[in-house]
Amino acid sequence: MLIIFIKTVIIALLVFFVIRLMGKRQIGEMQPFEFVITLILAEVACLPMNDPYIPLHFGIIPIVTLAFLDIALSFVGRKHNGFRKIMDGNSIIVIDRRGLVYENLKKMNMNVDDVIVSARSAGYPDVSGVEYAIVEPNGKFSVIEKPKDPTKPTTAYYPIALVVDGKPRKENIDLCGITEAQMNKIVLGGGLKKTKDVLYMDIRQDGTVYVSPKYKPCYTDKVNIIGGKNW
């Protein structure tokens, strides 16, 4: 009994330390790979705790290995957009200003009922009041509602990420119709030397650009969008 107690304390403390080191969030906020890692982590932690004949290192080695794997893949994901896209996926718009986006519903293997139920769960029983609905990589359903007062000249915008962790998102740049020259002007206008100095940059449908540099205060700029698709 004493051996089981000691092994349980050691494994529990190790799992707690590893979870903190990995920076885990709530289950509903995890990316798919993070969720899988957490499930496996719980399983391997139980083995040496339940069986006194299983050596302690049979649990410690897999736990440390999983932690290293998660941290290593997160590091690679910060450096390479393509790898991050494969591991985490993208946010997918299922409702835009034109209504339900049929092509994106097919990509997500969702039907209309799924969207309606998700919208209701998010507090929007009437989808006609939804400007944008987005399925996030962690499975959450985000909603941007339409302006409630039609007399006010306000519009709901859906920001599109142009740069994340210093890496341009080419597919979003093409979608928005912003040119490389415009992006360079925005970067230089904020006192930055290159795109790698930008931690995050996004653009809205009215041409407003938000920039958050790595080592300087954030700022906004305005550009003329000369030829984007419907977004």
> Per the structure block, which two tokens stand in for 129?
């009041």
Q: What is the mean pLDDT of the chain?
A: 81
Q: Tokens 């769960």 identify what position?
A: 121
CATH of domain 90-145: 3.30.240.20
Q: How many residues does the chain have?
A: 231
**Hey, which of 41-50, 77-86, 133-142, 201-210 has the most confident mean pLDDT?**
201-210
Select the more confidently predicted residue: 222 or 82: 222
Same fold, 90-145 and 160-222: yes
How confident is the model at residue 182, as a pLDDT?
92
DSSP single-letter state for residue 146: P
CA separation for the pair 32, 29 (Å, rounded): 10
Which of 42-56, 71-85, 97-111, 144-158 bottoms out in mean pLDDT, i.e. has the lowest? 144-158
Q: Tell me the pLDDT tens digit for each residue of 175-219.
A: 888 888 899 999 999 999 999 999 999 998 889 999 999 989 999
User: Whose CA is closest to 189, among 166, 219, 155?
Assistant: 219
Measure the N-to-C terminal CA separation of the chain; round to a whole number of Å: 63
Top-confidence residue, 165 or 138: 165
**Of 12-26, 77-91, 167-181, 214-228, which gets the smallest average pLDDT?**
12-26
**Position 145 confidence tier, pLDDT thresholds 50, 70, 90:** confident
Percent of the chain with pLDDT over 70: 86
Nearest to 165, CA basis, from 99, 58, 88: 88
Secondary structure (H, E, C), 64-101: HHHHHHHHHHHHHHHHCHHHHHHHHCCCEEEEECCEEC
Q: What are phi and psi of 100, to 5 degrees?
A: -65, 135
What are the residue boundaries of the structural domains of the chain, listed by start?
A: 2-86, 90-145, 160-222
**Does residue 20 register a pLDDT over 90?**
no
- Specify the higher pLDDT residue, 41 or 211: 211
Bigger pLDDT: 44 vs 1: 44
- pLDDT band of 61, cuts 50, 70, 90: confident
Q: What is the pTM of this model?
A: 0.55
The string of pLDDT tens digits covering residues 74-111 is 788 777 777 777 777 778 889 888 888 888 888 888 88
Alpha-carbon distance 211 to 219, whole Å?
5
The domain defined by 160-222 folds into CRO Repressor (3.30.240)
